[in-house]
């Protein structure tokens, strides 16, 4: 009987510890930041390593510098050496960015209310730029917050 009570108390204590742990925000497989649900900044960083484009993207950070630094860090963790933040925004919204693998200087992007709309717009723009040549690299992330508060701080303007 004592063993049963002990096991019951052990499982209750273990459950309490597990439930009280901070939850990781998995907006996309690129994001590894802890969500505070107060953060409204997001960033996408890219780099080219040989003929590969490496992407790091994060959402739900409390400041623009923090989001940019973390996106660059994520890009480096994936094999980038000198990442550049190509898109950073505040407020709600989903970004999608598409790259050409061999000639990494060609890309298109969109920032809209949903990822599907952003992806559709970015894909259409990309196909127009490349005269119908498909891409094998695309990244999409959604930031929490209100779309009415959307403010773009850094936007793509040329190659990387």
Q: What is the pLDDT of residues 113-135, one digit of tens each?
A: 899 999 999 999 988 888 888 77
**Averaged pLDDT for residues 89-110:** 81
Domain segments of the chain: what residues?
23-154
83 and 47 Cβ atoms separated by less than 8 Å:
yes
Residue 96 forms beta bridges with which residues? 110, 140
pTM attached to this predicted model: 0.71
Residues 13-71 have pLDDT tens digits of 434 333 333 322 223 344 444 444 467 899 999 888 877 788 899 999 999 999 999 99
Residue 89 has a pLDDT of 93
Give, in order, the Cα–Cα distances in Å from 36 to each of 40, 59, 72, 106: 9, 11, 20, 35
Compute the distance between CA of residue 74 and CA of residue 32 in angstroms, rounded to an integer. Answer: 8
Residue 6 has pLDDT above 80, yes or no: no
Give, in order, the Cα–Cα distances in Å from 118 to each of 43, 81, 95, 96, 121: 15, 28, 6, 5, 5
Residue 155 has a pLDDT of 84
Compute the distance between CA of residue 20 and CA of residue 71 in angstroms, rounded to an integer. Answer: 27
């Amino acid at each position: 009987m004592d063993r049963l009570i002990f096991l019951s108390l052990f499982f209750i204590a273990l459950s309490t510890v597990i439930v009280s742990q901070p939850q990781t925000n998995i907006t996309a497989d690129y994001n590894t930041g802890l969500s505070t649900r107060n953060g409204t900044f997001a960033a996408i960083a890219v780099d080219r390593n040989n003929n590969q484009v490496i992407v790091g993207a994060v959402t739900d950070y409390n400041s623009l510098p923090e989001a940019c630094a973390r996106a660059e860090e994520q890009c480096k963790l994936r094999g980038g050496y000198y990442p550049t933040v190509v898109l950073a925004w505040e407020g709600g919204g989903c970004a999608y960015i598409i790259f050409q693998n061999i000639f990494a200087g060609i890309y298109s992007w969109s920032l809209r209310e949903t990822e599907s709309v952003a992806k559709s717009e970015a894909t259409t723009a990309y196909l127009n730029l490349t005269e119908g040549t498909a891409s094998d690299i695309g990244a999409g992330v959604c930031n929490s917050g209100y779309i009415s508060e959307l403010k773009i701080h850094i936007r793509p303007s040329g190659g990387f």
